[in-house]
Structure 1
Amino acid sequence: MLAALWRYRYFVMASVYGEMKGRFARSRLGLLWSILHPLAQAAIFAIILAEVLGTRLAGVEDKAAYPIYLLSGMAAWTLFNEILSRCLTVFIEYAPTLKKIAFPRICLPVIVWGGALLNHVLLLLAIVVVFLFFGHFPGIAWLSLLIGIVLISLFAFGLGLTLGIFNVFVRDIGQVMAVVLQLWFWLTPIVYPIEIVPDHLRWIINLNPMVALVGIYQDAMLLNRWPDFMPLLIPAALSIGFAAAAFAVFRRASPELVDAL
């Protein structure tokens, strides 16, 4: 499969560009919408929670700390959510293409992965501009975002590809995951700091691998602090494990995908 991806690398790159261009066809703002949507959602949360409800981060005096904390977490979650959601339905969306054109089917989720990474880079650039408006300048610890991007995208890709294959045969999986992702978002400290979670519920939060992964962004972008690598061991193992399992499941199910579609 890796050799096939390499042979079709130009097809993958052209498809990423074509998908991005087609997604915003006849739109005056085009690619900017992929940046404006998460920024608008974060701005709504920030205005309601920070300005109306007076939400503040403990131990941080900066008034812009909460919006920065929120934007950091939203950036990490947007990457995870886009890769997972698109991989979940990619084979169903491209069913006509799979039936008409012969190419390695593993290219489809990789195209989705590449498009999501491109969106994410543009979103980070937009967030930098917002941070500069707040007088918050990027530091050297921002380099740790590369670790976050790799682990989050690998985790989302592995989980999304596995569920996406099962979703071809059992369409209920896509419907269930729409609800699961909403619950998962609120079980991840993005809108709220983890310190406010009651002690008797903290164990639920600690079971969530996205807590440590989102924390990479929050530590780097808000506090200019490198992450603690010990809590990342389990999420890193899960990311590698899900990716390996996804390729194994895909290889086994690939001959039956088109028939099921």
Structure 2
Amino acid sequence: MNRLRVFFEKDKKMIGKLVKNDFKARYSGSYLGVIWGVVQPLITVLIYWFVFTVGLRNGERPDGSPYIIWMMSGIVAWFFFSDALGAGTNAFLEYSYLVKKLNFNVGLIPLVKVGTSLIIHAIFLGIVTIILNFSGYTADWYYLQLMYYVACNFMLVFAVVLFTSSVTVYMRDVSQLVGIFIQIGFWAIPIVWGPEVLSGRLRFIFQLNPVYYLVEGYRDSLYAHVPVWDKPLYTLYFWVVTGALFALGMYTFRKLKPYFADVL
């Protein structure tokens, strides 16, 4: 925990400045700017709503809730994870000029990419909550859980990005593998299909994926009204896995960091 505290607390002003610059650079030159960061996920949601609600005429879940509400509540968690993972994996390649600076803390670079994705996530999450409220799922105290699950999402993807971004400096194929993983991961997690279609043993296997915890957590907070303390063992499992991934990411980063400038 001490390492984690130092990683986040050091150079706070630098992190904020870099996140701001990275956020501006991502949408520089486009007329709509940050709106593009919201338009793409919204279009994706509308496509799945049309296919599963209009095309297949399956507008409700087994529990009677609208399919679009169920899907949108979970997909918002995945959008943040996948966007941060995709952008963060190439962080050191994109900011190679900073890596070569002797006095710059290169460990901030993956954090900046995840932070930029977090801004987009906050905007899209706000839009989703507005849609839910207009659909009759009014805000209540369960929404406070979103802060916890967003923090979980941030920590998990940051842990993974620490590893993938470090290895990508030496093996550029890793970024391609991550792209494939994101494509497969979307369909391997109950985002557009319900976990009730799985048998008990198979569902348990799928639950071993920590992103499953995030998707269900967002749904619990936005409309299902399930408190986080109802899943103590699963919560413990998530943090054990996230902690292990963070330790792996930090170890890999520290081992490879001294040679980044030579490779880049």
TM-score normalised to structure 1 length: 0.91
Q: Distance in 2 between matches of 1:57 and 1:132?
A: 19
| Residue aligning to 1:162 | 163
Could you report, residue by residue, the CA deviation over 1:11-51 in whole angstroms, capped at 9, with x for unpaired residues? Answer: 22111111111211232321122122112111111111112
1:7 Cα offset (Å): 4.8
1:260 Cα offset (Å): 1.4
- 1:108-147 superposed matches below 5 A: 108-147=109-148
- Identity over aligned pairs, percent: 25
Q: Distance in 1 between matches of 2:255 and 2:221?
A: 40
Cα RMSD for the two superposed structures? 2.0
Amino acid of the structure 2 residue aligned with 1:28: Y
Q: Distance in 2 between matches of 1:247 and 1:138?
A: 38
Q: Distance in 1 between matches of 2:202 and 2:174?
A: 27
- 1:156-235 superposed matches below 5 A: 156-198=157-199, 201-227=202-228, 228-235=231-238
| Residue aligning to 1:59 | 63
Segments of structure 2 that go 5 or more residues without pairing to the other structure are none
TM-score normalised to structure 2 length: 0.90
Q: Distance in 1 between matches of 2:105 and 2:217?
A: 34
Could you report, residue by residue, the CA deviation over 1:157-186 in whole angstroms, capped at 9, with x for unpaired residues? Answer: 111211211111112222112112211111
| Residue aligning to 1:41 | 44
Contact 1:213–1:235 (8 Å) recurs in 2: no
Q: Distance in 1 between matches of 2:38 and 2:173?
A: 30
Amino acid of the structure 1 residue aligned with 2:18: S
Q: Distance in 2 between matches of 1:180 and 1:112?
A: 19
Amino acid of the structure 2 residue aligned with 1:70: M
Q: Distance in 2 between matches of 1:80 and 1:94?
A: 21
| Residue aligning to 1:242 | 245
Does residue 258 of structure 1 match 2:257? no
Amino acid of the structure 1 residue aligned with 2:131: V
Cα 1:183–1:140 shift into 2, 3 Å = same
Amino acid of the structure 1 residue aligned with 2:45: A
Q: Distance in 1 between matches of 2:168 and 2:84?
A: 15
Amino acid of the structure 2 residue aligned with 1:120: H
Mean Cα deviation higher: 197-206 or 133-142: 197-206
Q: Distance in 1 between matches of 2:29 and 2:39?
A: 17
Q: How many equivalent residue pairs?
A: 258
Q: Distance in 1 between matches of 2:155 and 2:14?
A: 21
Q: Distance in 1 between matches of 2:115 and 2:90?
A: 16
Q: Distance in 1 between matches of 2:185 and 2:250?
A: 24
Contact 2:88–2:110 (8 Å) recurs in 1: yes
- 1:95-106 superposed matches below 5 A: 95-99=96-100, 102-106=103-107
Contact 2:92–2:109 (8 Å) recurs in 1: yes
Q: Distance in 2 between matches of 1:8 and 1:67?
A: 42
1:198 Cα offset (Å): 4.8
Segments of structure 1 that go 5 or more residues without pairing to the other structure are none
Paired residue for 1:22, among 21, 25, 34? Answer: 25
1:215 Cα offset (Å): 0.5
Q: Distance in 1 between matches of 2:57 and 2:40?
A: 24
Q: Distance in 2 between matches of 1:3 and 1:229?
A: 28
